[in-house]
């Protein structure tokens, strides 16, 4: 079987990304529908800490009782996964996968700047994940839960957070340019 005739989802021809403004309009409509139907916006970082809380609760339930932050989510008979953001999180994983599958972008690879090794990129992405989620929990939401959802509802604090995110990234961009340029 040649690659052309195999109808696998893993090697469809790779299609171009949609135009950013078009993607933005679709995302805006999705966000609006989320608010219209449920009163909640979009988010994901909350699910990360809820999954964490569920893991801690399974491994060391007594540690939950001693940690106020976890207690709020997993204390007593509360199930930390019983929150709207958890199905949104898993839905987003599935949605990303589906779009990748339809557009021929399912591929094991590493996306990185041209002048660093895969290993450096892996280390940096892991580190970036640690830092980002630490900040996201401190700010009570990430680019989705705060900047996007809070931005659309005109929440004052969310606009401040949005500018802080961009401010932090722009301030550091020059010093880590080796990673990307």
Partner 1 sequence: MNFPLQSFIAVNAANPWTYVLFAAIGFAFGYTLEMSGFGDSRKLAAQFYFTELTVLKVMFTAIAVAMVLLFGAVGLGILDFSQVWVNPTYLASGIVGGLIMGVGFIVGGFCPTTSLASASTGKIDGMLFMLGGFVGAFLFGETENYFSNWYNNAGYYGRLTLDQVFNIPVGAVVVLVVLMALFMFWGGEQLERIFGKKDLSKEPKLRLAGAAILIVAALAVFVIGNPSLEEKYNKVKFTRTESIPQVNADPIVNTLTYTADEMLENRLVFITSAEAFKAKYNQSMNPVYLDVRSESDYNLYHIENAVNVPLERLTEVIPVLLSEPPANSVFILMSNDEAAATKAWKTLVGSSVQNVYILEGGVNSWIAFFGKDDKTLQPAPKAGDDQLGYIFPAALGSQYESCDPNPQEYETLEFEAKIILQLKRDKSGGGCG
Buried b (16+ CB within 10 A) or exposed e, 83-96: eebbebbeeeeeee
Name residues whose C-beta falls within 8 Å of residue 102's C-beta, 6 or more positions apart in sequence: 12
> Which is nearer to partner 1, 6 or 180 (by Cβ)?
180
> Which is nearer to partner 1, 4 or 21 (by Cβ)?
21
- Contact at 8 Å (CB) between 41 and 74? no
Taking the complex as a whole, how short is the minimal distance between the CB of residue 161 and partner 1, in angstroms?
4
Q: Which two tokens stand for residue 72?
A: 């709020």
- Contact at 8 Å (CB) between 99 and 23? no
Taking the complex as a whole, how short is the minimal distance between the CB of residue 110 and partner 1, in angstroms?
5
> Which is nearer to partner 1, 8 or 97 (by Cβ)?
97
Taking the complex as a whole, how short is the minimal distance between the CB of residue 152 and partner 1, in angstroms?
4
Taking the complex as a whole, how short is the minimal distance between the CB of residue 148 and partner 1, in angstroms?
6
């Amino acid at each position: 079987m040649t690659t052309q005739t195999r109808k696998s989802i893993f090697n469809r021809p790779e299609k171009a990304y949609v135009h950013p403004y078009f993607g933005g309009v679709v995302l805006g409509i999705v966000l609006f529908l989320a608010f219209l139907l449920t009163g909640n916006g979009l988010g994901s970082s909350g699910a990360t800490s809820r999954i964490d809380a569920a893991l801690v609760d399974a491994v060391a339930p007594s540690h939950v009782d001693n940690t106020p932050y976890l207690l709020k989510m997993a204390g007593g008979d509360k199930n930390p996964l019983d929150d709207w953001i958890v199905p949104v999180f898993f839905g987003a994983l599935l949605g990303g996968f589906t779009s990748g599958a339809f557009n021929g972008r399912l591929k094991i690879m590493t996306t990185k700047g041209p002048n660093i090794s895969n290993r450096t990129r892996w280390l940096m992405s892991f580190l970036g994940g640690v830092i980002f989620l630490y900040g996201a929990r401190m700010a009570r939401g990430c680019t989705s839960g705060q900047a996007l959802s809070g931005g659309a509802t005109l929440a004052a604090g969310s606009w401040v957070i949005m500018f802080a995110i961009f401010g932090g990234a722009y301030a550091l961009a020059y010093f880590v340019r080796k990673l990307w340029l």
